[in-house]
Chain A
Amino acid sequence: MVTALNPQLTYTGTKQPQPGERNPQTQRPILPYLPSEELVEVVNLAVFLQRPLLLKGEPGCGKTRLAEAVAYELGLPLESWFVKSTSRAQDGLYRYDTVARLRDGQLAANQLLKPEDLPRISDPKTYIKWGPLGRAFQNDQRTILLIDEIDKADIDFPNDLLLELDESRFVVEELEQQVVEAKFPPIVFITSNDEKDLPDAFLRRCLFHYIAFPNHKRLADILHGMFPEAPEDLANKAIERFMILRQTMQNSGGVTTKKASTSELIDWFRVLQQYPQDEALAKLDGKLPFGSVLLKSWEDHQRYLRQVGTN
């Protein structure tokens, strides 16, 4: 198999957190993540070639969670950059806090500052607020960088990041053109919901992977990973029911409708699990229980109600 890789930087997708394990920094629970073999392969390829990995797939298929899982397995720090419609590329590198600088300047001019503060405010670095990319570049360890939902931002946003991602360096103008160069080029994961096309120049620099919807077996594995105590037949039954619903959604709604995805299945199963097994199994035999977890649009709901009516 793959030989020339640094074994410490090889993602296998097999190391899963213990139930109840929490992220020491955020205190949020770490959940298991079961990637497909192809996904594991492409992650290692991206690490090896030092190229960003662009992930697409249905909403809820685990694009964002991959970065977390890789960071957990490789034991590397994770920087997440959640892109918004107003995000600019510059925000990811650093922000110069002009307002604070102005305020301090005014305070100093009016002699309202303590003398010990003076060296602090004369250092321009005080006002630099590093963004996720800036922090990742300066970390002493290789960092996992997640740029989430890149397609939300302006159409020029990805192009503005080309140099930074390509050469792993950028210039801070406020610090007299100081160049920040990455100590270790970060491992970059970029997710896109495919709402906008990304520019060619940007695409060329990325590896691309489409996270396909998992099959029955993998769904069962995922549910088992998330809820180790859940009885197997309940999980299987829930998955079966879920697959039928998904198929119906696909048949009636076509490619445009948001289909229920893995994350919805997990939420749904979590609710089902609250009931004793017999009751939950009985619920699965009747009309779709807790449909509001799975059906996300009014149209889907109506369609579902109609179908229930005809059956």
Chain B
Amino acid sequence: MNARDLPLFELFTRLQEAGLPLGLNEYAQVIQAIQAGFGISDKASLARLCKALWVKTEDEAYVFKYHFDKVFKEGLSEQPNVPLSYVGSENPNNPVLPNIANLLQSIIIRRVVIGVFTGVVFLTIGLAGRRLYQLIGTQAGVESTSNKTDSRDNKNAFPLAISLGASFTIILLGGGVAWLLIKNSASDEDESSDSSATTKKTNLSSTSKLELTGHQAQAKLALANARPAVSYESGISSISTTTKADYFPIKKRKLQQSWRYLRCNRREGPKLELDIAGTVQQIGRHGFLVKPVRQATRLNRTDLILLLDQDGSMVPFQSMGRQLIHTAARAGHLPSSNVYYFHNCPRGYLYHDPFTRQPEPLFRFLTQRLSPTSVVMIFSDAGAARRNLNPDRVQKTRDFLEPLTRYARRVVWLNPIPAERWHSTTAEPISKLVSMFETKPTAFKLAIDVLRGQKLADSLF
């Protein structure tokens, strides 16, 4: 048996698609470990083995559990189909496309087969009904002669044209019903997996909870934006737990990776490190060693401040906002005191909490909180979600941005609404006041570049 025929390979590819950072080496190691006798006693030990090698965070553990149960519940015989064709695809670097095609294919086939089956059932019922009708007709004919001619007429008129037409309609109808049934069952499956996932997550960190609960709003929005990739994926139930993250325009992992670039290393604090170059220079000057020259340690001194627009049109993006905060904090950038909230546009105050209960005067924020090392990221739709142009809001935003850009080192604006929808909304004039980026992986990377001080060709700053 080929190593890739194992149901494990199905699990492996599923996890890869779910975004776990796995290479073939990881797969080979599981095989190696199995050969050495690990994880062969029962299903649970196999799960533990795969988990130890493939799962690297607690959040991933839930994704793993979902897929493991799925793969090993469905029985082993039908497993290799999907991964095999996936492996055989010519484009191993882009596994998503062939695999989506596979999924689509299997879904279509499933639906057609069940549709035809249901159609046949309906047809049989129809034919049986007709037979019954005939029987009743003949019996009735025995009893009353006046109805006899009618029933004979019916018998003659029924056969070919109508019965063909009826059976065709019945097949279509059956197909339709079956399709609806499958659709429902798929969404049921989705929901049940949701609820089971949620119940299992007693210890889950808050963000991953958000990922699961907040996805509905994100999904709706993604669908409303009519982005083919996202709306398409939402129709596929089989990878549901993991595609929830896809409703975030940027995946968590991508955010984490991008934040990593945001750093501003400078030597600060007590002089602890020996400055070898400085010492050698000093010896050169004096001809002997007076004392070693020391220098401060190089540390990452990025002072990132996040300003988040709350409520109103930003409600669908709250999870995304929290994800931003969470990932930035875990990249070591963001003490919680560096997150501020506002509604639409900061006027007079910024708030330390999303419920706008702890205000901080804007003036104090600008003059005392901000320092020349501060970099500010604003997360707001800038009025693009309302799809109108509000000159008043533009003016107010300008009044806020002008001092902000003076006091902070750099300012970027992250807009969750796609750029093509900024046109002729409030966002358009605002995007000319500040470097505004869409919430997309590439754009987010550019935003980080701006915060790092790298100039962009098309940027105003």
Contacts and interface: CB of A to CB of B under 8 A. Distances in A.
Contact of A42 (B48, B263, B288, B292): B48
Contacts, number: 102
B37 A3 contact: yes
A255 interface: yes
Interface string B363-389: 000000000000000000000000000
B37 A38 contact: no
B297 interface: yes
A4 B49 contact: no
Interface in A28-69: 38, 41-42, 44-46, 48-49, 51, 54, 56
Contacts of B23: 204
Contacts of A46: 52
A209 B289 contact: no
Interface string B37-59: 11001000100110011011110
Interface of B: 21-23, 26, 29, 32-33, 35-38, 41, 45, 48-49, 52-53, 55-58, 61, 203-206, 253, 256-257, 260, 263, 272, 274, 276, 279, 283, 288-289, 292, 297, 299-300, 327, 330-332
Given A98-B276, A99-B274, A41 B289 contact: no
Contacts of A48: 33, 36, 38
A74 interface: no
A130 interface: no
Interface in A91-116: 98-99, 102-103, 105-106, 109-110
Interface of A is mostly: mixed
Contacts of B331: 155, 196-197
A34 B429 CA distance: 64
Contacts of B32: 49
Given A5-B37, A106-B289, 10 more contacts: A5-B36, A41-B38, A41-B49, A54-B56, A105-B289, A197-B330, A203-B57, A204-B26, A206-B56, A208-B57
A60 B419 CA distance: 48
A38 B272 CA distance: 43
A45 B49 contact: yes
Given A210-B58, A255-B205, A200 B253 contact: yes
Task: Classify chain A's interface size.
Answer: 35 or more
Which of A86, A198, A207 has most chain B Cβ within 10 Å? A207
A102 B52 contact: no
B288 A106 contact: yes
A9 to B, nearest CB: 12
Contacts of B37: 1-5
Given A2-B38, A154-B300, A203-B21, A208 B55 contact: yes
Given A45-B52, A208-B52, A102 B38 contact: no
A103 B289 contact: yes
A155 B61 contact: no
Interface in A277-304: none
A208 B260 CA distance: 22
A8 to B, nearest CB: 16
Nearest to B41: A1
A19 interface: no
A254 to B, nearest CB: 8
A311 interface: no
A199 interface: yes
B332 A45 contact: no
A27 interface: no
A256 interface: yes
28 contacts: A1-B37, A41-B52, A42-B48, A48-B38, A49-B33, A49-B53, A54-B56, A86-B297, A86-B299, A98-B276, A98-B292, A102-B279, A102-B289, A154-B300, A154-B332, A155-B263, A196-B330, A196-B331, A197-B256, A197-B330, A197-B331, A199-B260, A200-B253, A204-B21, A208-B52, A255-B204, A255-B205, A255-B206
Interface in A255-273: 255-256
